Amino acid sequence: MLSEEEILAGIDRTARSVTSFYGDEEFVVVSILKGSFVFASDLVRRIPNRIELSFVGVSSYRDGTESGPLEWTLFPTEDEFAGRRVLLVDDILDTGRTLSAVRSELLEQGARDVHSCVFLDKPARRAVEFRADFVGFEIDDVYVVGYGLDWAGRYRNLPYLATFSPEADPSRP
Ligand code: IMP
Ligand code: MG
Protein backbone atom coordinates (compact mmCIF):
# COMPACT_ATOMS: atom_id res chain seq x y z
CA MET A 1 0.00 0.00 0.00
CA LEU A 2 2.88 2.37 0.85
CA SER A 3 6.53 1.93 -0.10
CA GLU A 4 9.37 2.74 2.26
CA GLU A 5 10.09 5.91 0.26
CA GLU A 6 6.46 7.06 0.41
CA ILE A 7 6.37 6.39 4.16
CA LEU A 8 9.51 8.42 4.84
CA ALA A 9 8.26 11.33 2.72
CA GLY A 10 5.04 11.31 4.78
CA ILE A 11 7.02 11.30 8.02
CA ASP A 12 9.14 14.25 6.85
CA ARG A 13 5.90 16.15 6.31
CA THR A 14 4.38 15.08 9.65
CA ALA A 15 7.57 15.93 11.58
CA ARG A 16 7.60 19.42 10.07
CA SER A 17 4.01 20.02 11.26
CA VAL A 18 4.84 18.81 14.76
CA THR A 19 7.96 20.96 14.90
CA SER A 20 6.21 24.12 13.77
CA PHE A 21 3.34 23.48 16.22
CA TYR A 22 5.62 23.25 19.28
CA GLY A 23 7.98 26.02 18.17
CA ASP A 24 10.97 26.00 20.49
CA GLU A 25 9.08 24.39 23.39
CA GLU A 26 10.25 21.22 25.06
CA PHE A 27 7.88 18.23 25.19
CA VAL A 28 7.66 14.51 25.94
CA VAL A 29 7.06 12.06 23.12
CA VAL A 30 5.11 9.06 24.41
CA SER A 31 5.26 6.07 22.10
CA ILE A 32 2.48 3.52 22.55
CA LEU A 33 3.95 0.01 22.39
CA LYS A 34 4.29 -2.14 20.59
CA GLY A 35 3.00 -0.91 17.23
CA SER A 36 4.38 2.63 17.20
CA PHE A 37 8.03 1.82 17.87
CA VAL A 38 9.07 2.00 14.21
CA PHE A 39 7.12 5.19 13.44
CA ALA A 40 8.23 6.90 16.68
CA SER A 41 11.85 6.10 15.92
CA ASP A 42 11.71 7.67 12.45
CA LEU A 43 9.60 10.59 13.68
CA VAL A 44 11.77 11.72 16.62
CA ARG A 45 14.88 11.77 14.43
CA ARG A 46 13.18 14.42 12.30
CA ILE A 47 12.22 16.65 15.23
CA PRO A 48 15.02 19.04 16.20
CA ASN A 49 13.35 20.25 19.42
CA ARG A 50 14.58 19.36 22.86
CA ILE A 51 12.41 16.34 23.68
CA GLU A 52 12.23 13.43 26.08
CA LEU A 53 11.07 9.99 25.05
CA SER A 54 8.80 7.73 27.04
CA PHE A 55 6.85 4.52 26.43
CA VAL A 56 3.53 3.15 27.57
CA GLY A 57 2.21 -0.27 26.68
CA VAL A 58 -1.40 -0.97 25.80
CA SER A 59 -2.77 -4.11 24.28
CA SER A 60 -6.17 -4.08 22.66
CA TYR A 61 -6.60 -7.86 22.75
CA ARG A 62 -7.52 -8.44 19.19
CA ASP A 63 -9.43 -11.43 18.13
CA GLY A 64 -8.00 -11.63 14.64
CA THR A 65 -8.53 -8.18 13.22
CA GLU A 66 -11.27 -6.99 15.62
CA SER A 67 -10.39 -4.92 18.69
CA GLY A 68 -11.34 -6.04 22.19
CA PRO A 69 -10.85 -4.77 25.78
CA LEU A 70 -7.76 -2.72 26.61
CA GLU A 71 -5.01 -3.86 28.94
CA TRP A 72 -2.03 -1.81 30.12
CA THR A 73 1.19 -3.78 29.67
CA LEU A 74 3.52 -0.91 30.65
CA PHE A 75 2.11 1.75 32.88
CA PRO A 76 3.67 5.23 33.28
CA THR A 77 5.45 5.84 36.57
CA GLU A 78 3.72 8.30 38.87
CA ASP A 79 4.55 11.99 38.24
CA GLU A 80 6.30 11.14 34.99
CA PHE A 81 4.10 13.54 33.05
CA ALA A 82 3.06 16.05 35.72
CA GLY A 83 3.11 19.55 34.22
CA ARG A 84 4.60 18.29 30.95
CA ARG A 85 3.48 18.82 27.37
CA VAL A 86 2.91 15.41 25.85
CA LEU A 87 2.81 14.19 22.26
CA LEU A 88 1.21 10.75 22.07
CA VAL A 89 2.46 8.67 19.16
CA ASP A 90 0.63 5.62 17.86
CA ASP A 91 0.77 3.43 14.77
CA ILE A 92 -2.88 3.72 13.81
CA LEU A 93 -6.02 5.48 14.93
CA ASP A 94 -8.76 2.92 14.39
CA THR A 95 -11.74 2.75 16.77
CA GLY A 96 -10.09 5.50 18.84
CA ARG A 97 -10.33 3.54 22.11
CA THR A 98 -6.59 3.24 22.72
CA LEU A 99 -5.67 6.89 22.19
CA SER A 100 -8.72 8.10 24.03
CA ALA A 101 -7.92 5.93 27.08
CA VAL A 102 -4.21 6.80 27.14
CA ARG A 103 -4.95 10.49 26.72
CA SER A 104 -7.39 10.47 29.68
CA GLU A 105 -4.88 8.63 31.84
CA LEU A 106 -2.06 11.09 31.12
CA LEU A 107 -4.29 14.08 31.77
CA GLU A 108 -5.36 12.47 35.04
CA GLN A 109 -1.68 12.15 35.89
CA GLY A 110 -1.30 15.89 35.49
CA ALA A 111 0.06 16.34 31.98
CA ARG A 112 -0.19 20.01 30.99
CA ASP A 113 -1.56 19.15 27.56
CA VAL A 114 -1.75 16.06 25.37
CA HIS A 115 -1.64 16.10 21.57
CA SER A 116 -1.50 13.08 19.33
CA CYS A 117 0.37 12.01 16.22
CA VAL A 118 -0.48 8.84 14.31
CA PHE A 119 1.16 7.17 11.35
CA LEU A 120 -2.21 6.06 9.96
CA ASP A 121 -5.81 7.17 10.43
CA LYS A 122 -8.81 5.00 9.51
CA PRO A 123 -11.66 7.48 10.05
CA ALA A 124 -14.31 5.00 8.83
CA ARG A 125 -13.70 2.76 11.86
CA ARG A 126 -14.14 5.28 14.66
CA ALA A 127 -16.21 4.01 17.63
CA VAL A 128 -15.36 6.78 20.10
CA GLU A 129 -14.93 10.44 19.23
CA PHE A 130 -11.22 11.12 18.71
CA ARG A 131 -9.26 13.35 16.36
CA ALA A 132 -5.50 13.12 15.97
CA ASP A 133 -3.65 16.42 15.75
CA PHE A 134 -1.08 15.07 13.29
CA VAL A 135 -1.70 12.30 10.75
CA GLY A 136 0.82 10.68 8.42
CA PHE A 137 -1.64 9.00 6.06
CA GLU A 138 -5.38 8.54 5.98
CA ILE A 139 -6.42 5.08 4.73
CA ASP A 140 -9.62 3.19 3.91
CA ASP A 141 -11.10 0.47 6.08
CA VAL A 142 -8.64 -2.31 5.22
CA TYR A 143 -6.40 -4.32 7.55
CA VAL A 144 -2.74 -3.42 7.09
CA VAL A 145 0.58 -4.79 8.33
CA GLY A 146 4.21 -3.69 8.32
CA TYR A 147 6.16 -0.67 9.54
CA GLY A 148 5.31 -1.66 13.15
CA LEU A 149 1.77 -2.93 12.53
CA ASP A 150 1.09 -6.59 13.16
CA TRP A 151 -1.29 -9.41 12.57
CA ALA A 152 -1.16 -11.87 15.51
CA GLY A 153 2.23 -10.41 16.46
CA ARG A 154 3.79 -10.87 13.03
CA TYR A 155 4.95 -8.63 10.16
CA ARG A 156 5.96 -5.63 12.32
CA ASN A 157 9.41 -5.70 10.73
CA LEU A 158 8.28 -5.16 7.13
CA PRO A 159 9.82 -1.86 5.99
CA TYR A 160 6.71 -1.05 3.91
CA LEU A 161 2.93 -1.10 4.51
CA ALA A 162 0.85 -3.89 2.98
CA THR A 163 -2.81 -4.84 3.00
CA PHE A 164 -3.40 -8.16 4.70
CA SER A 165 -6.07 -10.83 4.74
CA PRO A 166 -5.72 -13.77 7.18
CA GLU A 167 -6.86 -16.25 4.49
CA ALA A 168 -3.78 -15.37 2.44
CA ASP A 169 -1.32 -15.75 5.36
CA PRO A 170 1.36 -18.20 4.20
CA SER A 171 2.02 -19.33 7.80
CA ARG A 172 -1.60 -20.38 8.30
CA PRO A 173 -1.90 -24.05 9.30
P1 IMP B 1 -7.92 1.53 18.29
O2 IMP B 1 -9.02 0.63 17.76
O3 IMP B 1 -7.99 2.90 17.71
O4 IMP B 1 -7.91 1.50 19.78
O5 IMP B 1 -6.57 0.91 17.77
C6 IMP B 1 -5.88 0.00 18.59
C7 IMP B 1 -4.79 -0.74 17.93
O8 IMP B 1 -5.34 -1.64 17.00
C9 IMP B 1 -3.77 0.02 17.11
O10 IMP B 1 -2.78 0.67 17.90
C11 IMP B 1 -3.16 -1.14 16.35
O12 IMP B 1 -2.22 -1.82 17.15
C13 IMP B 1 -4.36 -2.03 16.11
N14 IMP B 1 -4.87 -1.90 14.73
C15 IMP B 1 -5.95 -1.25 14.27
N16 IMP B 1 -6.10 -1.36 12.94
C17 IMP B 1 -5.06 -2.13 12.53
C18 IMP B 1 -4.61 -2.61 11.24
O19 IMP B 1 -5.19 -2.36 10.16
N20 IMP B 1 -3.49 -3.38 11.25
C21 IMP B 1 -2.79 -3.68 12.39
N22 IMP B 1 -3.15 -3.25 13.61
C23 IMP B 1 -4.28 -2.48 13.67
MG1 MG C 1 -1.45 -4.04 17.37
Atom of ligand 1 nearest to the CA of 67: 2
91 is catalytic: no
Q: Go through the chain and tell me how many residues it has.
A: 173
Q: Which ligand is nearest to the CA of 67?
A: 1
pTM for the predicted model, two decimal places: 0.94
CB 101 within 8 A of CB 58: yes
Q: Which segments in the chain show pLDDT lower than 70?
A: 61-67, 170-173
What does the pLDDT read at residue 12? 98
Percent of the chain with pLDDT strictly greater than 90: 84
What gap in Å lies between CA 116 and CA 86, rounded to an integer? Answer: 8
State the DSSP code for 96. Answer: S
Give tens-digit pLDDT for 122-172. Answer: 999 999 999 999 999 999 999 999 999 999 999 999 999 999 998 877 666
Q: Does residue 90 line the site of ligand 1, with CB under 6 A? A: yes
What does the pLDDT read at residue 70? 86
Q: Does residue 144 line the site of ligand 1, with CB under 6 A? A: yes
Residues 6+ apart with CB under 8 A from 85: 22, 25, 26, 27, 28, 111, 112, 113, 115
What is the Å distance from ligand 2's center to 133 Cα? 21
Q: Does residue 97 line the site of ligand 1, with CB under 6 A? A: yes
What is the Å distance from ligand 2's center to 72 Cα? 13
Q: Does residue 98 line the site of ligand 1, with CB under 6 A? A: yes
State the DSSP code for 173. Answer: -
